[in-house]
Chain A
């Protein structure tokens, strides 16, 4: 079946360093969404990318959707302790049924 792979699984950085997580799908996606889950919390929607090659920014976060609509990345510039959590990508298939396929998530730890 369709899979969405996310790497790395864990990342420890020093506060102020940059961080990137990558998401790859085995099939073309209609769109890709990113969610953040704080420790002990629930996933919260961050952003959605729809167009091939799309780039969106939210303050220090930059999201990209690949040209083939099969991969995506989230880059955080100058991490802060508030960035701690698990970041999930989730793909909506082109022949969508409304079901999202989630990646395994990348857990970010930031050392002050």
Chain B
């Protein structure tokens, strides 16, 4: 497996509280992604980063923000968590976003429950 870790692995929080999830990679890959996985929806892209301080929105970005101050770290923040953000969150990395043979490597996931 690629060197990707996510923290925390499990979190239970209350509605309205801020939450930050961390993704850390040791592969020096340029691209990093945050997905959420919900039954019946597969994997949906929240935000992605194509370099330090370079980020863009995915298809379900409302209620989420991201930051990338170093190549190896990509943070996902829920400013004010809601129950609809209960999900499993996966971070992924890839070595190129513009190469036709690109593949993504996923971290172990974070299970977030918002009560």
Interface residues of A (CB under 8 A from B): 1, 6, 9, 30-31, 33, 41-45, 48, 50, 88, 90, 92, 96-100, 102-105
Contact = CB atoms under 8 A, between A and B. Distances in A.
B97 A98 contact: yes
Categorize the interface residue count of chain B: 20 to 34
Contact of B42 (A30, A96, A102): A102
Interface of B: 31, 33, 35, 40-45, 48, 50, 56, 58-59, 90, 94, 96-98, 100-109
Given A96-B98, A98-B98, A104 B40 contact: yes
Contact of B94 (A41, A42, A44, A98): A98
B59 to A, nearest CB: 7
Contacts of A6: 42
Nearest to A2: B59
B100 A50 contact: yes
Given A9-B40, A104-B41, A105-B42, 17 more contacts: A31-B101, A41-B108, A42-B90, A43-B90, A45-B103, A45-B104, A45-B105, A48-B101, A50-B100, A50-B101, A98-B48, A98-B96, A98-B97, A99-B48, A99-B58, A100-B104, A103-B42
